[in-house]
Chain A
């Protein structure tokens, strides 16, 4: 085990933190005793400040011992069910010169990580866990997967992880203590400032250490998988991170409020990654790795890590590196599906599972219905009576655009009556369009089409697809007759009110 002087300093600072707390509490106690001896009344006044501060400090100190890492994330994969993955991990562990992990979990995040349960402040390791992100398995090739796993396993061989466990808990203590101090109390604010200064010093030292550990792990990854492959993996992780978030927010959970979830997560993520438009977008991310470096992140910036790898001597490529990493899994789709939705909240079980096109249509429709109901509710407040399509169109006829306008949008200071009217019309028009699209969808004249290249497209059935916009133009020019005719054709009653959607 090799400790640099900086690492040693970090550990000393960490050890110093409880000492600092105890010294401060002791100081408060001594002060209090002294005060009781001299002026009991003054002592009571003093206690008003010192007792809550001392309590907060002690609470913060004991917080750390109760902490347990969340080990239940993702799905566990055993050597029996996934022998090839385990063989790869064991082989890589041998190559970096460390013991393989005790278990492997596939997690729904673009991340790979090692964690070690330790005793005796990190001196004795009990169990090793390896976490592998399911989106990584879906989006990396075999060579890149080897590079990522070699990086994580190298943390073991460098003995980083034991220290990491220690520093992780130390940091939690510091944050916990700081959070307990009440900033509205001037005395605790003073104590807080002292700790913040101390914590800043500690983080500065420890960041330098952890960043060096990352670069050392990258070097090991480059030796084993080849620097070009390792650098490629880093670029691909940046792209996958964006793609995964985008997938979760804009596709997988789009029907959540409506009560739907996709039947097949992994299939959708695979289709998104394979889409040529998305590929072009991801290429841009791959070409421009993140240069920003957060002072609170343990990793150096992606760009810095790639630059370091580019400086290494090349290693000949391993045959089969180009094959998709997912091929290493048995029962691939099912395993990835399970891992990708492993951490969903309990409520997910009550969602209806549907195919992707149905999910997108139902999700978008529910969202439009919600917005439409909101617009009606706001129009009712503006009108002071129940709103129907008829009353809304009457308001447009009368030039009372404020009925439909977003009540939160406010005209600029000094805007005259004509400007206020125009401004309200600007806000009202897209909102009336929303209301009408929703009415058409309710009447079965609109549906959303799934696209992996773009957001879902709303399609109105003919003739509404070509007639709605000109009718809207006419309405905002003072004549809603064409709109009323259009509604008649769609068999939508002027007494129409949107149904307030309830989650299924």
Chain B
């Protein structure tokens, strides 16, 4: 967050923050800790391109209605997730049993429940106690430990992560690997724990030759496993164990397999741009959007990751200069700024809003 402030054009923000810190009688570092994202946003000077626009004239919900709360596409998941967080595991167990081999939906449910378990695993412990050796509970437990490890690490880059955060991260990842192995043995046909394995292989910084056999285990079970592909793309990023070249190669290869993986090309472009390598205005991004958009309106409309894809599409369309289509995606996204893409930014809601402004300013009504 701090690095963002020290870009030259945002120096003004630093001065404003210093002034505010002086007024409150605290250090700037302390101030950064106490400010809410919204308060912080007030200090960041508006970019000219990001000037507010009345987006309601384009049929979008007003700024005040936007929330970062999650919007559940899957109502059964919403129910199971809420129940789990309230301590009741039964709906989660029922849902996973009912889903069967719809692997993408299973991955989405396990991811959501894993997140709940990473926050508080009392309900999961109750589940495991009631049904020892339940493969579904084992898969959620493994995913939960990976989520827990990442919560301990935090989402910042390595240089902003403390030694103790890393120690805890690696310690819990080790437990997570054992739990994931156990889950793969309890559910030998299930690709889901192998998807979890792909995520933790990245965290444990596995070499390419350690990583590839795990990847093969995943794709022999589910060649188009979406969550696994998305995690593998992260592995191939320069910031983890790959490079820009490997990342783009993997994204292209995956996107060609199915429109349900076309979003990988957009994610690769986004990662490249964050690493200061221009990548939005390319024919690969255009081609990926052309495959993704029709799919989202047809077969993909019921896919568990539809909102994630739409969010990436909306940002990519704005960056690629296709503003009219971007407004269309924002209409479908509605009031929830809940995609992972927004969470890359210090103030996710602000990124959502400013991207909408940019879309509308250049789009016809």
Q: Which residues of A contact B (CB under 8 A)?
A: 406, 409-419, 422-423, 426-427
Chain B 91-133 per-residue mask, 1 if CB under 8 angstroms from chain A, else 0: 0000000000000000000000000011111000000000000
Stretch at the interface among B38-46, B163-171, B177-185, B266-274: B163-171
Of listed B121, B153, B155, B165, residue having the most chain A CB within 10 A:
B165
Sample of 26 A–B contacts (CB below 8 Å): A409-B162, A409-B164, A411-B152, A411-B165, A412-B151, A412-B152, A412-B153, A412-B155, A412-B156, A412-B161, A413-B155, A414-B151, A414-B154, A414-B155, A415-B152, A415-B154, A416-B118, A417-B119, A417-B120, A418-B117, A418-B119, A418-B120, A419-B118, A422-B152, A423-B152, A423-B164
Provide the residues of chain A in CB contact with B152, threshold 8 Å.
411-412, 415, 419, 422-423, 426
Whether, in the assembled complex, B222 has its beta carbon less than 8 Å from a beta carbon of chain A, the answer is: no
Q: Closest B residue to A429 by CB, please name it.
A: B171
Q: Closest A residue to B1 by CB, please name it.
A: A413
Which 10 pairs show the lowest CB-CB distances between chains A and B?
A: A412-B154, A419-B151, A416-B119, A426-B168, A415-B151, A409-B164, A423-B152, A423-B168, A419-B152, A419-B148
Expressed in whole angstroms, the Cα–Cα distance for A418 and B171 within the complex equals: 14
Contact B164 A426 (CB under 8 A): yes
Contact A412 B172 (CB under 8 A): no
Contact A418 B148 (CB under 8 A): yes
* CB-CB under 8 A for A412 and B120, given A418-B148, A419-B148, A422-B148: no
Expressed in whole angstroms, the Cα–Cα distance for A90 and B360 within the complex equals: 89
Provide the residues of chain A in CB contact with B161, threshold 8 Å.
412
Provide the residues of chain B in CB contact with A411, threshold 8 Å.
152, 154, 165
* Choice from A413, A418, A422 contacting B154 with Cβ under 8 Å: A413
* Choice from A406, A418, A427 contacting B121 with Cβ under 8 Å: A418
**16 additional contacts (CB under 8 A) given A413-B155, A422-B168, A422-B172:** A409-B164, A411-B152, A411-B154, A412-B151, A412-B154, A413-B154, A414-B151, A415-B151, A415-B152, A417-B119, A418-B118, A418-B119, A418-B120, A418-B148, A426-B168, A427-B164
Q: Closest A residue to B170 by CB, please name it.
A: A426
Q: Closest B residue to A425 by CB, please name it.
A: B168
Provide the residues of chain A in CB contact with B172, threshold 8 Å.
422
Size class of the B contact interface (CB-based, 8 Å): 20 to 34
Provide the residues of chain A in CB contact with B119, threshold 8 Å.
416-419
Expressed in whole angstroms, the Cα–Cα distance for A238 and B162 within the complex equals: 33
Q: Say whether chain A's binding surface is mostly helix, strand, loop, or mixed.
A: loop
Provide the residues of chain A in CB contact with B148, threshold 8 Å.
418-419, 422
* CB-CB under 8 A for A416 and B151, given A422-B172, A426-B171: yes
* CB-CB under 8 A for A416 and B168, given A409-B162, A423-B152, A426-B152: no
Provide the residues of chain A in CB contact with B154, threshold 8 Å.
411-415
Of listed A413, A417, A418, A427, residue having the most chain B CB within 10 A:
A418
Provide the residues of chain A in CB contact with B117, threshold 8 Å.
418
Q: Closest A residue to B161 by CB, please name it.
A: A412
Expressed in whole angstroms, the Cα–Cα distance for A419 and B151 within the complex equals: 6
* Docked complex: B168-226 residues within 8 A CB-CB of A: 168, 171-172
Provide the residues of chain B in CB contact with A412, threshold 8 Å.
151-156, 161, 165
Of listed B120, B154, B168, residue having the most chain A CB within 10 A:
B168
Nearest Cβ distance between residue B1 and chain A, in whole angstroms?
A: 9
Nearest Cβ distance between residue B37 and chain A, in whole angstroms?
A: 11
Contact A410 B162 (CB under 8 A): yes
Of listed B156, B161, B167, residue having the most chain A CB within 10 A:
B167
Expressed in whole angstroms, the Cα–Cα distance for A411 and B154 within the complex equals: 8
Expressed in whole angstroms, the Cα–Cα distance for A343 and B167 within the complex equals: 41
Provide the residues of chain B in CB contact with A409, threshold 8 Å.
162, 164
* CB-CB under 8 A for A423 and B165, given A412-B152, A412-B154, A415-B152: yes
Provide the residues of chain A in CB contact with B118, threshold 8 Å.
416, 418-419
Provide the residues of chain A in CB contact with B168, threshold 8 Å.
422-423, 426-427
